[in-house]
Amino acid sequence: MVCKVDTLLERYALPIHDPAYDSVDEYLVARWTGRDGHNAEGYKPLTEWFNKQVLRRRYDAHGRDVTSVHLDREYELVTGDASAEREELAADLAADGLDIDRLADELVSWSTMRHHLKDCLDATKEPATASTDWQTNTVEMATTQAAEKTRSVLSSLASTGRLPDAEGADVDVQVELRCPDCSASASFQTAVERGYVCETHAEETNRERVSERSAAALFGVFEGSRALLNGPYLADVLAVVGL
């Protein structure tokens, strides 16, 4: 299988600076799975690392010499929203024969990186590494309890006629994390796996430190009936999520 990552790897013959690895692919898998003393990382940091290698290669080809601090900042602008600063950079890049929008288009998204690791390279990793086990377990416990509590009221809802078909309903509890700044959301599991809640605002949130306002929990009861859990329990679960 060939994806955009493969195409870019071949096009730019991206170098690998770590002598422990023979290829960029090997290095990406080690970082993703947390082998060889690496901390297991999500798709986002790997995508950024990869894209910056591509950007560096493009800069080199056009004789644009920048420090890595500048490369980091310019990467943010290249991939960011329209702004006066981005326009300024666009003009500067144009002087070096580089088109900012074409550069942005050439870079890969985190979902492409996920596809590359999972499908092209057939790499796998444990859903939760040792360092995140207790957090994941805590949330799993909370959702199990929420489902049990919900199930416990279904038969009374059915017998009083408030929710006649409640008794046979399956109860599905999911913790969903929502971005406080836009409509992006992700299930707890997905967010942990890929390393962020919102691709757009993850950077800013990282800087501010993730605060309580960045998390919201949604519980749903499905299969023919719907019910909402009461506020106090919702707050409990938010507290154990602890974001």
User: Is the CB of 57 or the CB of 149 nearer to Zn ion?
Assistant: 57
Minimum distance between the CB of residue 2 and Zn ion, rounded to whole angstroms? 6
Binds Zn ion by CB under 5 A, chosen from 44, 123, 201, 240: 201
* Site membership for Zn ion, residue 14 (CB under 5 A): no
Contacts of 51 (CB under 8 A, 6+ apart): 75, 79, 107, 108
CA distance 203 to 205: 5
CA–CA separation, 221 and 235 (whole Å): 18
Minimum gap (Å) between residue 1 Cβ and Zn ion: 6
Query: Alpha helix (H) ranges present in the chain?
Result: 4-12, 24-33, 43-61, 68-79, 84-95, 100-106, 110-115, 130-159, 188-194, 202-208, 231-241
- Min dist. Cβ of residue 28 to Zn ion (A): 10
- Taking CB under 5 A as the criterion, the residue among 181, 204, 208, 212 binding Zn ion is 181
Report the sign of the C-alpha dihedral through residues 235, 239, 240, 241, in that order: positive
Binding of Zn ion by 186 (CB under 5 A): no
CA torsion sign for 184, 187, 190, 193 is positive
- How far apart CA 199 and CA 186 sit, in angstroms, is 10
Q: How many residues bind Zn ion (CB under 5 A)?
A: 12
Using CB under 5 A as the binding rule, whether residue 182 contacts Zn ion is answered as: yes
**Residue 224 beta carbon to Zn ion: minimum distance, rounded to whole angstroms:** 33
| Cβ proximity to Zn ion, 34 vs 180, nearer residue | 180
Query: Per CB under 5 A, does 198 bind Zn ion?
Result: yes
Please pick, from the candidates 184, 210, 216, 218, the single residue that binds Zn ion as defined by CB under 5 A: 184
Q: Which is nearer to Zn ion, 112 or 225 (CB)?
A: 112
**Per CB under 5 A, 3 contacts Zn ion:** yes
Burial of 65 (0-12, 13-18, 19+ CB in 10 A): exposed
Nearest C-alpha neighbor of 52 from the set 38, 22, 72, 32: 72
Q: Which residue number, 43 or 59, has a Cβ lying nearer to Zn ion?
A: 43
The reply on whether position 5 binds Zn ion by CB under 5 A is: yes
| Token pair of 31 as six digits | 């970082």
Q: Taking CB under 5 A as the rule, does residue 200 contact Zn ion?
A: yes
Rounded to a whole number of angstroms, the minimum distance from the CB of residue 25 to Zn ion is 8
Binding site for Zn ion (CB under 5 A): 3, 5-6, 116, 120, 179, 181-182, 184, 198, 200-201
